[in-house]
């Protein structure tokens, strides 16, 4: 298949693009800039620069026989979206509507979208299933849900098929740009810089962490399965507290780890995903447990070859 990966220079987009190319697919990557780090001997991704908020840039990227669009671009993260519903709607939701209109005009009928398994469900002690009624916990999650509903509308109205991936808390980003998103990566960057980890709310919040390679593998397998019109949780299926993550980092990383305690936004108190649907669709399970993933993420920070 021929893919256009919007946000292909970012964390998940880059990893998914490389997975697809290694499988023999053709991939065009669209972003504001090409990746700062990439292996010239690795997967041959076509890089195109442009602004997602400029419809003419997006329309140009859709030419040349694109069959599937993977939409990894987001202008916000959960913490920065707290008081920014208008920004969330204008820059993420409306921009996605414009994308779907362009796809409909060009008769591109398939799109993959990474929603948020961490902010689209209400907090609760049991793993969340895809059949739960969503209850977003912040404007970021609200925007993701609005896009999900828009995808359903464009499926019925224009025949554009979708896959929605509700991803838990991915980590393993060697080119991190958001200090306020991704606890494990933010912690590892702090440790490498000799700075203290900032632990909010006593670190009691429970999260479902999944290594980036496992996310790319799950998404790639779903795309190759040719299952469309589906919403699928992508996570480890288990939860750990943020405080437990810090303890694990202390065991894995050969450095002193200092911690500063803070009060403030921590998101849902408990967010873990049920991944039974994913495993049934593609016979998938994570290759990295948390200890192995944190160790590999630390290793890549010191030799970031992407």
Per-residue confidence (pLDDT) for residue 302, from 0 to 100 = 81
- pLDDT higher than threshold 80 for residue 151: yes
- pLDDT higher than threshold 80 for residue 20: yes
Q: What are the beta bridge partners of residue 104?
A: none
Give domain limits for the chain. Answer: 2-173+210-235+270-287
The hierarchical CATH code for the domain 2-173+210-235+270-287 is: 3.40.50.720
Least confident of 7-16, 193-202, 262-271: 262-271
Output 304 or 55, whichever has higher pLDDT: 55
- pLDDT higher than threshold 80 for residue 265: no
146-178 core/surface letters (b: 16 or more CB in 10 A; e: else)? bbbebbeebbeeeebbbbbbbbbbbbbbbebeb
pTM for the model stands at 0.93
Per-residue confidence (pLDDT) for residue 283, from 0 to 100 = 86
| Residue 83 contacts residue 16 (beta carbons within 8 Å) | no
- pLDDT band at 251, cuts 50/70/90? very high
Q: Per-residue pLDDT tens for 40-90?
A: 445 589 999 999 999 999 999 999 999 999 999 999 887 765 778 999 999
Tell me what the mean pLDDT of segment 248-253 comes to: 95
Instruction: Taking the CA atoms of 143, 147, 149 and 153 in sequence, report the sign of the dihedral they define.
Output: positive
The closest alpha carbon to 163, from 98, 71, 73, belongs to 71
| Rounded distance between C-alpha atoms, residue 238 and residue 37, angstroms | 32
| Rounded distance between C-alpha atoms, residue 70 and residue 6, angstroms | 6
Alpha helices in the chain (DSSP H): 11-22, 55-61, 85-88, 94-106, 139-158, 183-192, 212-225, 242-252, 276-282, 290-302
The closest alpha carbon to 5, from 59, 90, 89, 62, belongs to 62
């Amino acid at each position: 298949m021929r893919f256009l990966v919007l946000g292909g220079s970012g964390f998940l987009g880059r990893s998914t693009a490389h997975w697809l190319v290694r499988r023999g697919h053709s991939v065009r990557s669209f972003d504001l800039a090409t990746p700062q780090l990439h292996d010239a001997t690795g997967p041959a991704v076509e890089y195109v620069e442009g602004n997602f908020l400029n419809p003419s840039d997006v329309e140009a990227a859709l030419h040349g026989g694109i069959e599937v669009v993977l939409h990894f671009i987001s202008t916000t993260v959960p913490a920065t979206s707290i008081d920014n519903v208008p920004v969330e709607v204008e820059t993420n939701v409306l921009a996605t509507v414009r994308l779907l209109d362009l796809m409909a005009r060009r008769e591109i009928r398939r799109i993959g979208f990474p929603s948020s398994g961490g902010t689209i469900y209400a907090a609760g002690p049991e793993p969340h299933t895809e059949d739960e009624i969503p209850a977003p916990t912040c404007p970021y999650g609200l925007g993701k849900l609005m896009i999900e509903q828009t995808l359903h509308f464009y499926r019925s109205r224009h025949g554009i098929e979708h896959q929605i991936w509700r991803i838990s808390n991915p980590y393993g980003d060697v080119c991190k740009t958001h200090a306020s998103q991704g606890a494990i990566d933010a912690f590892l960057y702090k440790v490498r810089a000799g700075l203290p980890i900032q632990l909010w709310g006593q670190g009691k919040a429970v999260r479902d962490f999944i290594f980036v390679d496992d996310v790319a593998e799950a998404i790639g397998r779903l795309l190759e399965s040719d299952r469309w019109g589906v919403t699928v949780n992508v996570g480890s299926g288990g939860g750990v507290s943020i405080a437990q993550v810090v303890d694990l980092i202390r065991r894995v990383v050969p450095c002193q780890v200092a911690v500063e305690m803070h009060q403030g936004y921590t998101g849902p108190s408990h967010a873990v995903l049920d991944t039974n649907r994913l495993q049934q669709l593609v016979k998938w399970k994570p290759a990295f447990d948390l200890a192995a993933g944190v160790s590999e993420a630390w290793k890549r920070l010191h030799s970031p070859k992407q």
